[in-house]
Amino acid sequence: MGVLEKAPAAGAVNTRVLGASAGADENTTTTTIVLAHGYGGDQSVWDYITPQLSESHRVVTFDWIFSAAAATGGDADDAAVAPFDAEKYSSYEAFADELISLVEHMDLGPVVFVGHSMSGMVGCIASVKRRDLFRHLMLLGSSPRYLNSEDYKGGFEESEVETVLHNIETNFKAWAHDFASVVVGGADSAAAVAATDRYRAGLTGMRPEAALAVGRTIFLSDNRAVLGLVEVPCTVVQTKADAVVPMHVAEYMQGEMKAALEVVDCEGHVPQLTAPDLVVEVFERILGRV
């Protein structure tokens, strides 16, 4: 059972500490891992891997303000249920500032940060701002840019992104139902079906205005320039087939950041739900080198 902490910032709520040294004296030395979920998820996407990771590490999870869980969790406050501030979250900067606030407030650093999907780039930006708070970055299924251009292939044409954003704005529930299957992948395996149902619940539970605002931030941002500024050691973690982030994006990030690249032997964008044992194996291998 985790220790529930009061959120240090409006954008990161329902913070929990699990495992080694959870709730213990602040002078206790142990590796602290901060797990940050991506779009459509909440901290429950880590539920299948936290039991194993917390056996030997302190694990911190939380919900981003845009998640369905943010307004219903243990420390939901006025910020979590107020109208979503689309202007504030029109870039990853605000998320990065709130991640920094979380790590500082809880006196966690330097931490091993695991950022899934959009949170990977949030972690990169935060590490540039506050190098001292981060020991290592694990970037799981992350991308600095989703749009294709002449010199870069992010995986999506501009027309495809326009269609996605239009569907979020005009028919969010139907779009979310279908998009969940694309994100999770894994065909019709039992694990994929269960993971799709779980991810779909979080995605469809988002407030539509938050889903649209954060969707715009994700799909229209270009954070490639940040990669070369990151000084914290990094490992890019990628599945062998991801409909959202192609392998060549992971390889691009590896080159720009001089990072290590670990490939999880499974398909889909949310391997912590579909292949948790494989993800833990990769994470523990990385942690053994940190």
Angle at 242 between CA 220 and CA 227, to 5 degrees: 50
CB of 9 closer than 8 Å to CB of 101: yes
Percent pLDDT > 70 in the chain is 89
Output the pTM of the full model. 0.92
β-bridge mates for residue 12, sequence order: 9, 64
Phi, psi of 97 (to 5 degrees): -60, -40
Q: Which stretch of 20-24, 98-102, 229-233 has the lowest confidence by average pLDDT?
A: 20-24
Query: Is the per-residue pLDDT at 20 higher than 90?
Result: no
Give catalytic residues, as residue numbers: 117, 242, 269
Query: Is the per-residue pLDDT at 26 higher than 60?
Result: no
At 181 the three-state DSSP class reads: helix
Q: Which domains does the chain have, with CATH numbers?
A: 3-144+223-287 (3.40.50.1820)
What pLDDT does residue 22 have?
A: 54
Gap between the Cα atoms of 191 and 210, Å rounded: 28
User: Measuring CA to CA, which residue among 165, 103, 168, 179 is closest to residue 137?
Assistant: 103
Query: Is the per-residue pLDDT at 256 higher than 60?
Result: yes
Q: Give the type of residue at 287.
A: L
- Mean pLDDT computed over 243-249: 97
Query: Is the per-residue pLDDT at 97 higher than 80?
Result: yes
Dump pLDDT digits (tens) for 200-211: 999 999 999 999
Cβ-based neighbours of 61, under 8 Å, separated by 6 or more? 2, 15, 16, 18, 34, 35, 37, 43, 46, 50
Query: Is the per-residue pLDDT at 2 higher than 80?
Result: no
Burial (Cβ within 10 Å: 0-12, 13-18, ≥19) of residue 154:
buried
Query: Is the per-residue pLDDT at 1 higher than 50?
Result: no
Residue 83's pLDDT band (cuts 50, 70, 90): confident
Dump pLDDT digits (tens) for 135-190: 999 999 999 999 999 999 999 999 999 999 999 999 999 999 999 999 998 767 88
Dump pLDDT digits (tens) for 104-137: 999 998 999 999 999 999 999 999 999 999 999 9
What pLDDT does residue 190 have?
A: 84
- Mean pLDDT computed over 245-262: 98
Query: Is the per-residue pLDDT at 253 higher than 50?
Result: yes
Dump pLDDT digits (tens) for 59-79: 999 999 999 998 665 454 555
Residue 25's pLDDT band (cuts 50, 70, 90): low
What pLDDT does residue 94 have?
A: 96
Gap between the Cα atoms of 174 and 208, Å rounded: 12
What pLDDT does residue 109 have?
A: 84
Gap between the Cα atoms of 249 and 255, Å rounded: 10
